[in-house]
Amino acid sequence: QKEVEQDPGPLSVPEGAIVSLNCTYSNSAFQYFMWYRQYSRKGPELLMYTYSSGNKEDGRFTAQVDKSSKYISLFIRDSQPSDSATYLCAMSTYGNNRLAFGKGNQVVVIP
């Protein structure tokens, strides 16, 4: 079983829709959770960072962590064509500098 599982997509949505992305993981020691956005032929950029369980909101983006289910989610409200990218989840345990990444989920927002 892979440590982090992420559906690769692609996920196509109309402009203005809510985009829902998720990752599941197997290591219950993960405490630090990140979402990255990667445009084509560019490096990943950090989008959201959360610690332990709960929700975090930043503008149109909401990150959720459910440690009991080993499940994290990213929601994008009022999606825009500029949100078309690959979204990667990443996570780490306490004291570990390495991140475990999902393979990424491609999102296409259709105008």
Partner 1 sequence: DVKVTQSSRYLVKRTGEKVFLECVQDMDHENMFWYRQDPGLGLRLIYFSYDVKMKEKGDIPEGYSVSREKKERFSLILESASTNQTSMYLCASSSLRYEQYFGPGTRLTVT
Per-residue binding letters, 5-24, with partner 1 (x by CB under 8 A): ---x----------------
* Smallest distance, partner 1 to C-beta of residue 94, A: 9
* Contact stretch for partner 1 (CB under 8 A) within 17-25, 41-49, 53-61, 62-70: 41-49
Can you list the positions of beta strands (E) in the chain?
A: 4-6, 11-14, 19-25, 30-38, 45-51, 54-58, 61-66, 71-76, 85-93, 100-101, 105-110
Q: Which is nearer to partner 1, 43 or 111 (CB)?
A: 43
CB under 8 A: which stretch of 11-19, 55-63, 67-75, 91-99 binds partner 1? 91-99
Phi, psi values for residue 82, rounded to 5°: -70, -10
Nearer to partner 1, 68 or 97 (CB): 97
Task: Please provide the size of the chain in residues.
Answer: 111
